[in-house]
Amino acid sequence: MMKNSILNLCKVAILAVFVSCSSETEEIPEVRKAATDPFNGTTSDKTGTSERNPGPGGGVMMQAFYWDVPAGGTWYNTIKSKIADWDAAGISAIWLPPVSKAQNGPFSMGYDPADYFDLGEYNQHGSVETRFGSKAELLSLINTAHNNNIQVYADIVLNHNSGGDLEANPYTGTNTYTDFDPASGKFYRSASDFHPNANVYNDEGIFGGFPDLSHSQPYVQDWLWNRSDGVGKYYKNTIGFDGWRFDYVKGFGGWVVREWNYNVGGFSVGEYWDGNAQKLQDWVNSTNRTSSAFDFACYYRMDEAFDGNNLNILASGDMLWKRDAAKAVTFVTNHDTDVIWDKMHAYAYIMTHEGYPTVFYSDYEEWLDKDKLNNLIWIHRNKAVGSTSILYADNDEYVAKRNGSPGLVVYLNDSNNWVERWVETNWSNTVIKDYTGNSNWEPTTQSGKWVKIQCPPNSYTIWSPK
């Protein structure tokens, strides 16, 4: 969703210090990344790694930007410089901000799109480059990512356009900013391509007063997903994007994403900003299950659990990953919203549970302990396999296991004391260890698969066979 700063509001960045117990962690072996399928291994019992299989637990996405990244056309090169390190850490895909030229040109974060085919090569809207760089720099970044077996997802803004010229609008009887004459020479738009028009008065939503693109118009459909030189196929087949993050999908019907995915292909996740898991599931179904959705229900339940000191919510709360793990993209924060203060517990949760976990750039590069995040990424890719069983929950403690092979048991402790608990695992007569290094115990499970595990104050442990 577009940030309020586009509407000339200020964003206040709130930073916090997050504390958890730490000690040495196991050396993290090199792991190969997914070439096409980020969910490969999410609920299977596959072992081994390859380009098609990024470890048995599946891939991890990096949101490769935050709101108001430095202007000046340097961001693509900044991300490119980090690709090798992210590759080594186990990142399998990166999500970029909108790449096309927007109304605010060199100052825009891209959520006010004007010319979908100007990726930083035409002098319009105040600059040649976008805020993030030139088309050549974008292509170099994508090429570098692909050489490291990292997928690249484009942020696609289809609901609205901005930066058109004023014209007489016969459908409103007023003058509207709906005359788009792009420098790229592609996808000219006029009043008939927006709402209202001769065929359709409105769709599901208007954002920020911007001209609302009418996806029901055949001309618009052609330029977005049907034409071989249209937006979707140009981004995928020429520029090299592997998938899509669809912005503000509440603003149009799920059929739009369905048609894009049928005609263009690639991974797909929608920003349906709602904490109701049923609504998220309904939206996924409205795309004929061609798209995943960000699990806002999980996001808000984690905030209630970790910041509200009530881990029972993790057991009782409804989340998309519990309903439809293969279509849930989990996250701890993003460029639009950052409400969870106890972030390390939240990352431990999403990296050990089902779904496709996302790491936020600022969390990884600036705010949190990178070594601990790398450790969780490795655990996710190598241990987090199979369905999930919740073993215990109260205000302070939460224990769950993944039932695949190798599988894991995660123990979250939100209290100020060391805690211990007997749990039933999937392993008989097996030595297990805590792969976070937060506990040095190496207990042996009983023949009946029970074992006692422990967790330090305000921390987490993650257990799997040694």
Map out the domains of the chain with their CATH numbers.
4-97+132-158+215-386 (3.20.20.80)
Q: What is the per-residue pLDDT across 134-156, written as a single tens digit (0 to 9) for each?
A: 999 999 999 999 999 999 999 99
pLDDT at residue 109, as a whole number:
98
Q: What is the per-residue pLDDT across 94-126, written as a single tens digit (0 to 9) for each?
A: 999 999 999 999 999 999 999 999 999 999 999
Helices and strands in the chain, H and E counts: 12, 19
Q: List binding-site positions.
A: 159, 212
- In the predicted model, what is the mean pLDDT of residues 41-65? 62
Q: How far apart are CA 338 and CA 355, in angstroms?
A: 20
Q: List binding-site positions for Ca(2+).
A: 159, 212
pLDDT at residue 15, as a whole number:
33
Better-scored residue on pLDDT, 24 or 294? 294
Q: Which residues are catalytic?
A: 247, 271
Residues with Cβ within 8 Å of 355's Cβ and at least 6 positions away in sequence, in order, are 42, 295, 298, 320, 321, 325, 328, 329, 330
Closest alpha carbon to 406 in 387, 420, 385: 385
Give residue 33's pLDDT band: very low, low, confident or very high (50, 70, 90).
very low
User: Rounded to two decimals, what is the model's pTM?
Assistant: 0.90
Closest alpha carbon to 153 in 42, 229, 264, 258: 264
pLDDT at residue 312, as a whole number:
98
pLDDT exceeds 70 at position 6: no
124: DSSP letter: B
Closest alpha carbon to 98 in 206, 35, 179, 6: 6
pLDDT exceeds 60 at position 460: yes
Q: How far apart are CA 169 and CA 173, in angstroms?
A: 6
CA-to-CA separations, 104 to 11, 116, 124, 126, in angstroms, rounded: 17, 14, 10, 7
pLDDT at residue 55, as a whole number:
79
